[in-house]
């Protein structure tokens, strides 16, 4: 029988004078933990540093590393079932796990490994030290008293210092290749191979970027559904997610939030209203959005009570950084015996980052994109012992791994798509991050 010694968190609640963004970036900059995740959920910001337990998934199996050593469960059916089983073995009361999933998990979530390589598909940590900020109060939890005291001391001096200077980059390069990919996809749609596909392009960033300062600057300039900053086992990313893949509360209520249909968001209010009116009346954008909502409903039907499913918000406008989107929200209630991981598996990857139907869209993505997406269009998520889950779609982000730094954005291609417009849409989305990039050792400005 699998057993490990029980562990518990030392806890303390402290008042805060700094805002949550300052608290989170102060903790990240303090260097308390080599690996950490910052996650912004509505009404709560969290910092997770170090690991009491970590779970990873790759083609060899699901792996748990904790104080008792390492346990591996070999692939046998859906791999997320293995992940859930390993999480159930974590002997830390009231744990919350933080981490990410790669887009390529989509190819293997039924258990088929033929389309995946050696890459990691999932990485979750139950942190050694955790800080949850609600308003002007922080709950600090740490596996030892020393860790708790260190965080308390760190937060006592948290102040919003001078801002580092951003150095925007021009992302309007590489149009020809992307426009050709769009034209090829439109031709495939007209040939009835699929209805919609999201094709992305990458933009290399040659400057050494300060990810924490970029998160601080970008969060001030964006209005995301979720935001995140992570450094896990050599992967760094910070982003401002426009939508939720899936959120599940402890009562089993599920929501998914498809966003599809895009126009720029500028500094000119009158221009924004014109673009909004066009967005709400454009047949291509409405069609692209409507089929995304239908797929989200269809996917949740397999895990939710049919009578509970409904579209509680349809085709509203949501402003996200440098763009405005058509946005809907699908809601339902999990069937008895179903869990948050079932809901996640049903909708992942988000239809707004893959296509319709998904399997055919995957083929187009593999054909037209030069490498694995990895974290891009995957998810950053939290999952709690009580069954709660919150998974943000990874878009509008900057990434670094193995000395390479890049941005990535895509556009939804349907039969009415125009290559020039779709390229411009990727630029509008990239600008949500590109204008806030802070180079390492950037000078600071007062205020």
DSSP 223: -
CA 365 to chain CA centroid, Å, is 19
Q: Angle CA(418)–CA(171)–CA(180) in degrees, nearest 5?
A: 35
Q: Angle CA(212)–CA(154)–CA(19) in degrees, nearest 5?
A: 60
Q: Is 272 helix (H, G, I), strand (E, B) or coil?
A: helix
Task: Give the closest residue to 380 by CA, choosing from 338, 350, 410, 412.
Answer: 350
Residue 324 in tokens: 């405005």
Active site (annotated) includes residue 428 = no
Task: Please give the span between the terminal C-alpha atoms of the chain, in angstroms, as a whole number.
Answer: 58
Burial class (CB in 10 A: 0-12, 13-18, 19+), 175: middle
Is the four-CA dihedral 88, 90, 96, 100 of positive or negative sign?
negative
For residue 38, list its beta bridge partners. 47, 229
- Rounded to a whole number of angstroms, the CA Rg of the chain reads 21
Under a CB-based contact definition with an 8 Å cutoff, are residues 413 and 147 in contact?
no
Is the four-CA dihedral 335, 337, 340, 342 of positive or negative sign?
negative
Backbone angles phi, psi at 430, to 5 degrees: -60, -35
Out of 243, 285, 288, 428, the active site residue is 243
Q: Residue with structure tokens 């942190």?
A: 127
Catalytic residues: 243
């Amino acid at each position: 029988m699998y057993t490990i010694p029980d562990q518990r968190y030392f806890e303390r609640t402290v008042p805060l004078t700094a805002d949550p963004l300052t608290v989170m970036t102060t903790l990240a900059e303090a260097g308390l933990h080599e690996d950490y995740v910052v996650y912004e959920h509505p009404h709560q910001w969290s910092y997770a540093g170090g690991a009491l337990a970590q779970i990873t998934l790759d083609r060899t199996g699901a792996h748990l590393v904790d104080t008792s050593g390492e346990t591996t469960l070999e692939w046998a059916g859906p791999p997320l079932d293995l992940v859930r089983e390993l999480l159930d073995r974590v002997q830390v009361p009231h744990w919350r796990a933080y981490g990410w999933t790669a887009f390529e998990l989509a190819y293997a979530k039924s258990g088929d490994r033929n389309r995946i390589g050696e890459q990691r598909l999932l990485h979750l940590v139950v942190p050694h030290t955790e800080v949850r900020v609600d308003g002007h109060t922080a709950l600090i939890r740490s596996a030892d008293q020393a860790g708790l005291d260190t965080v308390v001391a760190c937060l006592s001096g948290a102040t919003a210092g001078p801002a580092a200077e951003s150095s925007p980059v021009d992302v309007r390069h590489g149009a020809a290749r992307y426009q050709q990919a769009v034209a090829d996809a439109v031709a495939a749609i007209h040939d009835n191979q699929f209805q919609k596909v999201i094709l992305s392009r990458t933009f290399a960033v040659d400057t050494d970027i300060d990810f924490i300062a970029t998160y601080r600057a970008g969060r001030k300039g964006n209005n995301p559904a979720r935001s995140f900053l992570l450094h896990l086992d050599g992967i760094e990313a910070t982003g401002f997610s426009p939508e939720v893949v899936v959120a599940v509360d402890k009562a089993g209520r599920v929501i998914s939030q498809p966003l599809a249909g895009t126009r720029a968001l500028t500094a000119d209010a009158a221009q924004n209203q014109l673009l909004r009116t066009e967005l709400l009346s454009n047949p291509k954008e409405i069609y692209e959005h409507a089929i995304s909502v239908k797929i989200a409903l269809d996917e949740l039907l397999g895990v939710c009570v049919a009578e509970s499913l409904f579209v509680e918000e349809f085709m509203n406008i949501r402003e996200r950084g440098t763009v405005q989107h058509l946005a809907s929200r699908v809601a339902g209630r999990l069937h008895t015996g179903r869990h948050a991981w079932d809901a996640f598996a049903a909708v992942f990857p988000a239809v707004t980052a893959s296509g319709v139907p998904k399997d055919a869209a995957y083929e187009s993505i593999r054909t037209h994109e030069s490498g694995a997406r990895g974290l891009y269009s995957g998810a950053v998520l939290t999952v709690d012992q009580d069954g709660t889950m919150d998974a943000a779609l990874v878009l509008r982000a900057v990434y670094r791994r193995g000395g390479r730094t890049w941005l990535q954005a895509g556009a939804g291609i349907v039969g009415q798509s125009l290559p020039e417009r779709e390229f411009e849409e990727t630029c509008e989305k990239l600008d949500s991050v590109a204008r806030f990039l802070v180079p390492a050792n950037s000078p600071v400005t007062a205020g």
